[in-house]
Amino acid sequence: MKSRSFGALVVETFTAVLFLLFLVPFALIVINAAKDSFSVTQFPMALPKNWGTIFKNMTSIWTSPNIAYPSSFMSSVIITALSVVLLNVLCSQAAWVLVRTKTRFSQIMFLIFVGAMVIPFQIIMFPLLSWFREVSRLTGIRLLRTYGGMIFAYIGFGLSLTIFLFHGFIKGVPYELEEAATIDGCNKFQVFYRIVFPLLTPIHATVVVLNGMWIWNDYLLPLLVLGKGNAVQTIPLAVANFAGAYVKQWDLILTAIVMAIIPIIILFLAAQRYIIRGIVTGSIK
């Protein structure tokens, strides 16, 4: 009993230390967001003299005409929300079909989706731009520097992991429920959306948080597809505008980061009770 208690104490202490180390960067961001630019560079570890400075910095960011933070915020909300919703709907349907269709083709398709997760983004980012330009030239549909192009790209890059998680979770849904619904007269569409879809709440929450954090914080893909100086800008691109070639407004950069973190924290807290259950169930079954 003593050895077990000592072991539990060691694990808990180690976990607490890791937790504090994990919080250090966030604490430094918040502390320095409440300072002016000079204090950030000269006294980065000191506590701010006036915590109200952070609200002054937020007001400066929100009203600055140079970066148009409100429009960038709305662009991030639109791109993230639509991408996450479409990923949830499309990937849950695709995973359900792959699970319930016991054919060699469905197995091969699932392996292709799983294999696509290991392809580095850096390998395909320039072919992606070339393909977007070619599609625009042939069809007249603009994909570069538009909402549609960004959402289309995020759906493509998010398919593999999302289908993988849904695939594992749907394996745990009893097939007898679907058979009973079919006997009662439901078609395939009704079986999925009335029986299966409501049972996927834990994995839906997990996918929303994982994809939402990725899309909301992503910088490289919006930089490639949207570019700087475009009317459609995401928050990471807007924050980057505070860093010039010779001057970096660290107080506004850190405050903008705090403003960008808040929606993700709210989303995580709202869905946290489903996240671990969804990840574990969706990855091991």
Sorted by sequence, the CB contacts under 8 Å of residue 169 that are 6+ apart come out as: 95, 200, 202, 203, 278, 281, 282, 285
Same domain membership, residue 9 and residue 135: no
Is residue 57 one of the residues assigned to a domain?
no
47 and 130 assigned to the same domain: no
Q: 244 with 154, same domain?
A: yes
pLDDT of residue 1: 47
Whether residues 113 and 23 share a domain: the answer is: no
Q: How many domains does the chain have?
A: 2
In this structure, the answer to whether residues 153 and 17 fall within a common structural domain is no
Both 77 and 145 in one domain: the answer is: yes
Instruction: Based on the fold, state whether residues 147 and 279 are members of the same structural domain.
Output: yes
Asked if residue 26 is part of any domain, the answer here is yes
Say yes or no: 86 and 224 in one domain.
yes
Q: What is the 3-state secondary structure (H, E, C) of the chain?
A: CHHHHHHHHHHHHHHHHHHHHHHHHHHHHHHHHCCCHHHHHHCCCCCCCCCCHHHHHHHHHHHCCCCCHHHHHHHHHHHHHHHHHHHHHHHHHHHHHHHHCCCHHHHHHHHHHHHHCCCCHHHHHHHHHHHHHHHHHHHCCCCCCCHHHHHHHHHHHHHHHHHHHHHHHHCCCCHHHHHHHHHCCCCHHHHHHHHHHHHCHHHHHHHHHHHHHHHHHCCHHHHHHCCCCCCCCCHHHHHHCCECCCCECHHHHHHHHHHHHHHHHHHHHHHHHHHHHHHHHHHHC
In a domain, 58, yes or no: no
Q: Are residues 78 and 20 in the same domain?
A: no
Whether residues 94 and 221 share a domain: the answer is yes
Q: Is residue 92 part of a domain?
A: yes
Residue listed under structure tokens 């299966």: 196
Rounded CA-CA distance 243/234 in Å is 16
The answer to whether residue 34 sits within a structural domain is yes
Please report whether residue 44 resides in a domain. yes
* φ and ψ of 248, to 5 deg: -120, 120
Q: Give this prediction's pTM.
A: 0.86
Q: What is the pLDDT of residue 81?
A: 95
Residue 146's domain is classified under what CATH number?
A: 1.10.3720.10
The contacts of residue 241 (CB under 8 Å, 6+ apart) are 66, 67, 228
User: Domain of 123?
Assistant: 64-284
Indicate if 102 and 210 belong to the same structural domain: yes
Instruction: Write out the two tokens for 162.
Output: 């999302």
Asked if 168 and 71 sit in the same domain, the reply is: yes
pLDDT digit string (tens) for the chain, length 285 residues:
455 577 788 888 899 999 889 889 889 999 998 998 888 888 888 888 888 888 988 888 888 777 778 889 999 999 999 999 999 999 999 999 999 988 899 999 999 998 988 888 888 888 898 999 998 888 888 988 999 999 999 999 999 999 999 998 898 888 888 888 888 888 888 899 988 998 888 889 889 988 999 999 999 999 999 887 777 889 988 888 777 655 678 888 888 889 888 888 888 887 777 666 655 554 444
Specify burial of residue 99 (Cβ count, 10 A radius: 0-12, 13-18, 19+): buried
The pLDDT score that the predictor gives to residue 83 is 96
- Rounded Cα distance, 243 and 41, in Å: 14
